[in-house]
Structure 1
Amino acid sequence: MDILALAQPGVSGLHPYQPGKPVEELEREMGIREIVKLASNENPLGASPKVAAAIAEQSEQICRYPDANGFYLKQALSAILGVGGDQITLGNGSNEVLEILFRTFVGAGDEVIFDAHAFIVYRLLTQASGATAVAIPSQDWGHDLDAMLLAITEQTKLICIANPNNPTGTFLSKEALASFMSQVPKQVLVVLDEAYFEYVPVEERAPTVEWLAQYPNLCVSRTFSKAYGLAGLRVGYLVSSAEIADLLNRVREPFNCNSLALAGAQAALADQEFVTRSVELNRTEMARLESYCQERGIDYILSYANFITMKLTPADEIYQALLTRGVIVRPIAGYGMPDHLRVSIGLPQENDRFMAALDELLVEARP
């Protein structure tokens, strides 16, 4: 029996998403302890103490199904974002809301446009949907919006833009995005994936949620996994027109956000002081790593996110050597960047470990 032949055409050629190596896996493989993980763009400060308290209180009700509509979290988000609760779709991480968007709107015969070095999930979802991927070559490691506009055809259903982008950290200005949106045909959906939104300086952020009133084809996705430190709880959301949200909620699985995640996200949202502290730490430590690269002549991509992508060759050998020293970073050959490594911004002592380990390797590599 050929099980592969039974699968949908787009699924049979897929390969599972490869996350950053877990600490536990490296411990099992090499018996190493005191590991520094700088691979998955997690918040090194953890989460707000208010989150643990909210989860503890909610845990008394884990025998009950969660609120399928996430009323209170939507209410809190509505107050901050200035939109109606009927414009918000909650998901098990922003990955799921993107998947729901694809399942709702994208199918065989459609085209999906995205940057060649953008979040790999766009490509995976396009292929799984049976649609055609249109990967646009990057411009200075970032989105080439003019080329994206030129690539639009009658078959184009969706354009995915990550801003800041993962894994490069590049950023599109509010002026560039505004010009782009004004030129996209109304029948083409645009999703702005703003997973790293909180790390962008306030004065540089585009008012993307405000643009929803002008552009009914626009969707904005965000997550609690990064600056809010809730990667393990998996909570994300998408803001759109009420009409798009209505369709998404018809496709969305019931109870897709568990009760602990909903409570934790609501508590995290209420502690903006923690988010500010997280962003300030990221900015300070990013500057340290940039200075490190400059002093050693290492090429890096200017990042607006909570990671920095460095050109280090041979990247795979350096990645493996760092593992033996108890430091996990992220190889990104799967993103078409075989000569680069992505390094999450950690605590000062974690970044010190990384820089010291890399220094050892750079010394060993000298002729």
Structure 2
Amino acid sequence: MGITAYANQFVCDRHAYEPGKPIEDTARELGLDPRGIIKMASNENPLGPSPLAKEAMQAALEKAHIYPDGGGLALRGAIARELDLEIDNVVLGNGSNEIIELLCHAFLNAEAELIAAEHAFVVYKLMAGLFGARYVEVPDPGFVHDLEAMAAAITDRTRLLFIANPNNPTGTMVGQEEIDRFMAKAPEHVVVCFDEAYFEFLREPPDVLKYVREGRNVCVLRTCSKIHGLAALRIGYGLAAPGVADLLQKARQPFNTNALAQAGALAALGDADHIARTRQLNFEGLECFHKGFRKRGLNFVPSVANFVLVEVGDGDAVFSGMLKRGVIVRAMRTYKLPGWIRITTGTAGQNQRTLAALDEVLAGMTT
């Protein structure tokens, strides 16, 4: 009898998360020079980390023998001041993904339900399964969250409801009026989680922090992986009223965020120039891909994030074909979109190379 016979069945049944394919693995498997490979799969910052963050992390290395500040007081304080919150509203995570897990630790069990949109971030479903909770998937017509339908799906067993805004992998968002109407209906026994990993890329972002200030049962997720270019550090945070935040603090591991990550994130938050350059580059990248897909007659979802979802017929085949050309994109079969791929915006040169590789692959599929 194998060891799985003694393990929790909901763990055995779980599918592991599949990240974007690493450059090094691609180079090794296909015999390519890693310096010639571009990764357009994981919504990373093509400009790299904030220069101020790199300088701060170099300095922090001198104290790598000392445990990090377990409370993350300096970083939490800076976040609170920037967002007009109190430090008790801020919880640090090993990436914003850990905040998702902490929420599940605090609120999910076999009797509970988690609600999310049909094409939302797949980690919500994975986490619900890991905690034995029922996952309720609400259709999202036009790839946009249907907040009216999500509100209607709430039951007495619902504990968590996720609104990814902008949503990954669709790049769509819901506006302030829709959110306000939804929040007017949200019951007290549900923690509404606004996943705002791509918040800084928005031209006109909605304000959901007002619900934190009002003491509502919400948690807003933010990350330093995207706009700040610190994905390798795994540093993110949750913003919640003290009642919810206190539960998350109790659920997290001691020293869950390391000293280099805290130092880098603290410096990156203050690097306005790097943030502005990243935003502008992304606006240009979205315009490039939107125009490029229209020109090619490809169906796509207009995006407000730093990636675009585009229909290519056979997502797995296009992913493989582009991989052989040194361009890593993301196939969307995991999101029940086998005919689609997701492409991250890059530099102007990376964007043009991606479109050229896409042209070659699609031409080969039709001949």
> Normalising to structure 1: TM-score of the pair?
0.98
Q: Judge conservation of contact 1:117–1:335 (CA < 8 Å) in 2.
A: yes
SS for the counterpart of 1:143 is coil
2:76 pairs with 1:74: yes
Aligned counterparts, 1:228-247, within 5 A: 228-247=228-247
CA deviations over 1:227-273 (Å, ceiling 9, x no partner): 01000001000000111111111111000000000000000001022
Gaps of 5+ in 1: none
Q: Find the residue that maps to 2:66 and give its secondary structure.
A: coil
Segments of structure 2 that go 5 or more residues without pairing to the other structure are none
1:159 matched residue in structure 2: 161
Amino acid aligned to 2:187:
P
DSSP-derived class of the 1:29 partner? helix
The one-letter code of the counterpart of 1:127 is: G
- Root-mean-square deviation over aligned CA pairs: 1.0
Stretch deviating more after TM superposition (246-255 or 210-219) = 210-219
Q: Contact between 2:315 and 2:332, CA under 8 Å: does it hold in 1?
A: no
**1:136 shift after superposition:** 0.7
1:119 Cα deviation after fit: 0.3
Please state how far the C-alpha of 1:215 moved relative to its aligned partner.
5.1
Provide the residue aligned with 1:292 in structure 2: 292
Look up the SS of the partner of 1:175 in the other structure. Answer: helix
2:237 aligned partner, one-letter code:
Y
- Moved segments of 4+, more than 4 Å: none
% of aligned pairs identical? 42
The whole-number CA distance in structure 2 between the counterparts of 1:366 and 1:113 is 40
Superposition TM-score, scaled by structure 2 size: 0.98
The whole-number CA distance in structure 2 between the counterparts of 1:45 and 1:155 is 44
Preserved CA contact (<8 Å) 1:89 1:248: yes
Q: Which amino acid aligns with 2:177?
A: E
Whether the 8 Å contact between 2:147 and 2:182 is mirrored in structure 1 is: yes
The 2-side partners of 1:315 and 1:124 are apart by 22
Deviations 1:327-357 (A, max 9, x none): 0000010011111000000111111111111
Could you tell me whether the CA contact under 8 Å between 1:157 and 1:188 is conserved in 2? Answer: yes
SS in 2 for 1:168: coil
1:194 aligns with 196
Corresponding residue SS for 1:310: strand
2:27 is matched with 27
Aligned to 1:140: 142
**Alpha-carbon contact 2:215-2:242 (below 8 Å) kept:** no
Counterparts in 2 of 1:1-367, with a 5 A limit? 1-33=1-33, 34-201=36-203, 204-214=204-214, 216-367=216-367
Secondary structure, in 3 states, of the residue corresponding to 1:279?
helix
SS of residue paired to 1:67:
coil
Please tell me whether the aligned partners of residues 96 and 238 of structure 2 are also in contact (alpha carbons under 8 angstroms): yes
Give the counterpart letter for 1:124 in structure 2: L
Structure 1 CA distance, aligned partners of 2:125 and 2:97?
12
CA distance in 2, matches of 1:305, 1:331: 18
SS at match of 1:96: helix
CA contact (8 A) 1:9 1:130 kept: no
Q: SS of the counterpart of 1:167?
A: coil
Deviation at 1:2? 3.2
**SS across alignment from 2:220:** strand
Aligned residues: 365
CA distance in 2, matches of 1:307, 1:76: 29
Q: C-alpha distance in 2, partners of 1:2/1:364?
A: 45
